[in-house]
Amino acid sequence: MNPCSPLADSSAHLTPHRERLPIGGLMALATAGFITILTEALPAGLLPQMSVGLQVSEALVGQLVTLYALGSLLAAIPLTYATRGWRRRPLLMIAIGGFALVNSVTALSNDYWLTLTARLLAGVFAGLLWALLAGYASRMVAPHLQGRAIAVAMLGAPLALSLGVPAGALLGTAVGWRWSFAIMTGLTIALLAWVRWQVPDFAGQSAEKRLGLRQVLRLCGVRPVLFVTFTYVLAHNILYTYIAPLLAPAGLTADIDQVLLVFGLAALLSIWLVGALIDQRLRLLLIISCALFASSALALGLWIDSPCVVYVTVAFWGIAFGGLPALLQTALAKSAGDAADAAQSMLVTVWNLGIAGGGLAGGMLLQGLGVTSFPWTVVALAALALTATLRTGH
């Protein structure tokens, strides 16, 4: 087994300090992720209301989500590199505080273009925040607890997707879309106080330790993790983006909410399982995730018209995917060492490319070969991710 592989199972390098998870600080990081994802997805749940309020079409309101993703994609690497020498907690608070600013602008704005600009800036802050979270969590604990710490810090994203987005839509119905964003601002201000109280500060990276982009990419294990990230996220988003047409052959289009609920609950179970085992079985868990995802897609390809099979495969798909962010970020943090933040910024960029590529590839497949081609494409991509994971361990 390659000793520099981040996927090699190890519990070595125990230290006498930081032997317990700092739950308060890690949950503050998780809340930052929750607010980030909820801010990103909120317009999707408030589409009709924002269309009326801003006096534009629903299609244009949908671009508020697109611009957010674009901001994250463009800003993650350059901003992370530009701020490597900054002290970590002030930088984290700037990234979080940016959401208070942009959500306030969104809540008060009557101009579509001003709102669109605010959303682009929100994506910029998100790109920086996601590049910081995993490295920050890993620095708060001893090496043998880094995986669990990252898993806790990543809890906010799946909770926001499975629970926060529907809750946000209900909130918008109850108090209106402007108050929804205003409440997000209030939550963000409270989070800043929490971070100042519970999250420790760390020094920035000294100039002599800063590696260039190419040097980070050459670090052992970084490129395989990024490759697995891209192929897996690309495959996932082919299915997830076009879940409605995917359910049509089984006659489940009207039950999309129930199907997504099954996926979300299975993903939460996966997060708990991964959090319990990640520091001892990192590589094995990633192999299982890739294999389970490929197997689920294969079953879907063979029995796409069976409602029972669809529900079962969606459940296993959720189990495969739920813990993936923590697995990949932990593997990358272990590979990159002191350059963890720079490597995580690459993961943020690659992840967003996978999301965009999944939407584009899925659309092309849907128009060209039809929805039945989705599972087989996903099987091929998941097999590539699995092969790369298996090879990294040797």
- Taking the complete model, does pTM exceed 0.95, yes or no? no
Please tell me the predicted confidence (pLDDT) of residue 12.
38
Residues whose CB is less than 8 angstroms from the CB of residue 268 and which lie 6 or more positions away in sequence, other chains included: 158, 159, 162, 322
Place domain 23-202 in its CATH homologous superfamily: MFS general substrate transporter like domains (1.20.1250.20)
Instruction: Decide: 248 and 259 in contact? Cβ < 8 Å.
Output: no
Residue at 154: amino acid letter: M
Q: What is the pLDDT along the chain (394 residues), one digit of tens a residue?
A: 344 555 544 433 333 446 688 999 999 999 999 999 888 878 877 878 888 899 988 878 878 877 888 888 888 889 988 898 899 999 999 999 999 999 999 999 999 999 999 999 999 999 999 888 888 998 898 888 888 888 898 888 877 876 766 677 778 778 889 999 999 999 999 999 999 999 999 987 776 677 777 888 788 888 999 999 999 999 998 888 788 788 889 988 788 778 888 888 898 899 889 988 988 899 999 999 999 999 999 999 999 999 999 999 999 999 999 899 889 988 888 888 778 788 888 888 898 888 888 878 888 888 889 889 999 999 999 999 999 999 875 4
Please tell me the predicted confidence (pLDDT) of residue 393.
59
Residue 108 CA: distances (Å) to CA of 3, 178, 185, 330, 334:
54, 7, 12, 39, 43
Please tell me the predicted confidence (pLDDT) of residue 14.
38
Separation between Cα atoms, residue 342 and residue 38, nearest integer Å: 25
Place domain 213-392 in its CATH homologous superfamily: MFS general substrate transporter like domains (1.20.1250.20)
Please tell me the predicted confidence (pLDDT) of residue 121.
95
Q: What is the location of CATH 1.20.1250.20 in the chain?
A: 23-202, 213-392
CA 324, 32, 354, 328 torsion-angle sign: negative
Please tell me the predicted confidence (pLDDT) of residue 92.
95
Please tell me the predicted confidence (pLDDT) of residue 114.
96
Separation between Cα atoms, residue 141 and residue 152, nearest integer Å: 12
Separation between Cα atoms, residue 256 and residue 337, nearest integer Å: 42
Residues whose CB is less than 8 angstroms from the CB of residue 346 and which lie 6 or more positions away in sequence, other chains included: 76, 77, 216, 217, 222, 226
Please tell me the predicted confidence (pLDDT) of residue 194.
96
Please tell me the predicted confidence (pLDDT) of residue 18.
60
